[in-house]
Amino acid sequence: MTRVAIVTGGTRGIGEAISIALKNQGCTVIANYCGNDDKAKAFSISTGIATAKWDVGDHEACIDNCARIAAEHGSLDIVVNNAGVTRDGTLARMSFEDWNEVMRINLGGCFNMAKASFTGMRERGWGRIVNIGSINGQAGQYGQVNYAAAKSGIHGFTKALAQEGAKFGVTVNAIAPGYIDTDMVAAVPPAVLEKIVAKIPVGRLGHASEIARGVVFLCSDNAGFVTGSTMSINGGQHMY
Ligand code: NDP
């Protein structure tokens, strides 16, 4: 049976790799994005994957788009909550707007997408939700109280929702990536990045495809006994 999957932030970086990997598993994939139309168009042309533009921090937009996609494709079986942003700064410099925006998109997006998809998955007796957290939600990071709080919240959200889905064939898991070579990490100053890489035991940044392989496993039938877990994929940088 063809599974229907939405990957939020699915047109760039880690999300792009996840969209392609799920398509290669035979899923019908819809890659969501929010602002970068040129990249989304190029992605769609090169992969043949449909894109859909909305802000995952917008509750109504998530409800409406998931309902539309489920109606068009017959179901919505897999949601990968990958969309995320950073608005870094020490607490002293961080504005309330920067706090709110990161919470609204990174954590609020997971709530909005789950509200839009979880009931249908439970009714159909099969579903997969994978939330992309972060090593910085596990370990904290200087200058990221907003991002670390949102990502840490994702890990708690995952464990709580997993308990509501377990009896109904719906698993909810998280992946906590370490530092991956995407646009988000390219924004980190080179001197800071050098120090980060020096602390990664495998000696390099991760690749988006390495996160995508974890998502593919968690979305498979073989992972039916895995729920409420956080898979750390970080080159050994943080172990607990
Ligand atoms: P990128 O910045 O490369 O891509 C982010 C994606 O999210 C883009 O597709 C972007 O869309 C989309 N997006 C941003 N805001 C919204 C929104 N409000 N609604 C819908 N889509 C949105 O990020 P990465 O690939 O690096 O990161 C992906 C996820 O992995 C994030 O959650 C990030 O926090 C997490 N992560 C990344 C790590 C890394 O080292 N890269 C490490 C740990 C976690 P558009 O193209 O339209 O802007």
Distance 126 CA to ligand 1 centre (A): 27
214 lines ligand 1 (CB under 6 A): no
Instruction: Give the C-alpha distances (Å, rounded to integers) separating 232 from 16, 91, 134, 199, 240.
Output: 19, 27, 8, 16, 9
Residue 239 falls inside a structural domain: no
235 lines ligand 1 (CB under 6 A): no
Residue 63 falls inside a structural domain: yes
Residue 236 falls inside a structural domain: no
Q: How far apart are CA 126 and CA 165, in angstroms?
A: 9
101 lines ligand 1 (CB under 6 A): no
Whether residue 168 contacts residue 121, with contact meaning beta carbons closer than 8 Å, is answered with yes
pLDDT in tens, 108-122: 999 999 999 999 999
State the closest ligand 1 atom to the C-alpha of 183, by its place in the atom list counted from 1: 3
Q: Total domain count for the chain?
A: 1
Residue 237 falls inside a structural domain: no
pTM: 0.98
Q: Which domain holds residue 91?
A: 4-230
Residue 130 falls inside a structural domain: yes
8 lines ligand 1 (CB under 6 A): yes
Catalytic residue list: 147
pLDDT at 102: 98
Residue 235 falls inside a structural domain: no
CATH of the domain at 20: 3.40.50.720
State the closest ligand 1 atom to the C-alpha of 205, by its place in the atom list counted from 1: 40
pLDDT in tens, 138-194: 999 999 999 999 999 999 999 999 999 999 999 999 999 999 999 888 888 899 899
